[in-house]
Chains A and B, each alone.
Chain A
Amino acid sequence: AQTVTQSQPEMSVQEAETVTLSCTYDTSESDYYLFWYKQPPSRQMILVIRQEAYKQQNATENRFSVNFQKAAKSFSLKISDSQLGDAAMYFCAYRSAGGKLIFGQGTELSVKP
């Protein structure tokens, strides 16, 4: 069975600085998708970034980028120029082709002004 592990329950970053959130996963599948979701206090899950496993190029969305290491089964999220609005719970998630989402335990990110 697939598993997703986020080893950092809490992280803190200074406004305008860069922070990296870690995620590792375990799977025997070759075709899958990885996601980072953000859950602010409103509790709505918001997609931050996605990565297809067959793509070697790391995904980037504005200030958010990932470091996808397929062999190491690692999928970290880098947030550049952190803003107060980035404060939230961040979840790493795995999905096999057409399958369910499997989430990590989450990392709570706080941003200090």
Chain B
Amino acid sequence: KAGVTQTPRYLIKTRGQQVTLSCSPISGHRSVSWYQQTPGQGLQFLFEYFSETQRNKGNFPGRFSGRQFSNSRSEMNVSTLELGDSALYLCASKSSTGNTEAFFGQGTRLTVV
């Protein structure tokens, strides 16, 4: 069974641009969550999607948005990039049955210059 796949692995963008990150969950998993990891703030929850609906949202500005498709793949978009958005963005998928653990992808390293 393939794991959680995130693309791209690395990304360099300029301030003011926008970026879209992609996450393909483990087959059969319907819940996808996104986390931002920075040296200063650590790991912070961005949002969770389940069956194409946002189920939970963290404390991030509206520049951060996401969506989930019918095949459970999810995208995260950040508009008007700021230097502080440079981070490792991790995606995690979870089975819809019961409270099972989340499985993480390898992340997308975003650098904003």
Contact = CB atoms under 8 A, between A and B. Distances in A.
B42 A105 contact: yes
Interface residues of B, number: 20
B104 A100 contact: no
Interface in B62-84: none
B33 A101 contact: yes
B42 A100 contact: no
Given A33-B99, A45-B90, A103 B104 contact: no
Interface residues of A, number: 22
B101 A100 contact: no
Residue among B33, B43, B104 facing the most chain A CB atoms (10 A cut-off): B43
Contact of B42 (A35, A45, A106): A106
A103 B48 contact: no
A104 B43 CA distance: 8
Contacts of A35: 101
B102 interface: yes
Contacts of B102: 47, 101
B107 A100 contact: no
A45 B106 CA distance: 7
B99 A97 contact: yes
Interface in A26-51: 33, 35, 37, 42-47, 50
Interface of B: 33, 35, 42-43, 45, 48, 56, 58, 88, 90, 92, 99, 101-107, 109
Interface of A: 33, 35, 37, 42-47, 50, 91, 95, 97-106
